[in-house]
Amino acid sequence: MADLTKLEKTLESFSVGLKHTSDRLAVFNADRALVRPPISNQETKSFGFDREDDSFTLLLGDIVSTESAYFHGERVTGRPKYLALNSSCDLVPKRREYASLLRISVIRKTEENVKTKLDLLLRFKRRESMYLPVLPVDDEAMECDTVQFDGLALERQPTQAELDLQTNL
């Protein structure tokens, strides 16, 4: 196995300290442990970030659903979910034209070897993906979500009409 970074070693060590999958699930699924409600533009205004250039639609780490993203040149449809790698305030003329997104896939309760997959994710044994708890928009057939690190999806700077169609989860 390739050398682990300090963060990876810390996460793996922490996870190993939790003896059972149910213990790991309790920690990682706790309110605000891995996922918290998005920070709203209105919320930041109350802290004094109220200039025009402080406005944003999404922030780094937000989980969004959009059908205007492309993966390996192909448009992705079917209400896919993504984790944003940059904020919408970066998408301004002459700065950045595309948003970088990590794909989020799902593991369903009915999948083969679901317990093994879940155990590997919760012990941080997979380097190409990371566990995320079920999101409020997910259906009951879902066991969990996973962030995929094996490739970026890109979304070009959206028009206002496209922004209106995007859903912040």
pTM of the model: 0.73
Within a domain: 30: yes
Within a domain: 120: yes
Kindly state the helix (H) or strand (E) to which residue 107 belongs, with its residue range: strand 98-108
pLDDT of residue 34: 81
1 pLDDT higher than 50: no
Within a domain: 17: yes
What Å distances lie between residue 141 and 24, 92, 109, 145, 157, CA to CA? 20, 39, 6, 11, 34
Within a domain: 93: yes
Tens digits of residue pLDDT in 39-92: 887 888 888 888 877 777 777 888 888 888 888 888 888 889 988 887 766 666
Within a domain: 1: no
Within a domain: 164: yes
The tally of domains found in the chain comes to: 1
Distance CA 106, CA 42 (A): 31
Range of the domain at 68: 6-168
- Over residues 102-117, mean pLDDT: 93
Within a domain: 134: yes
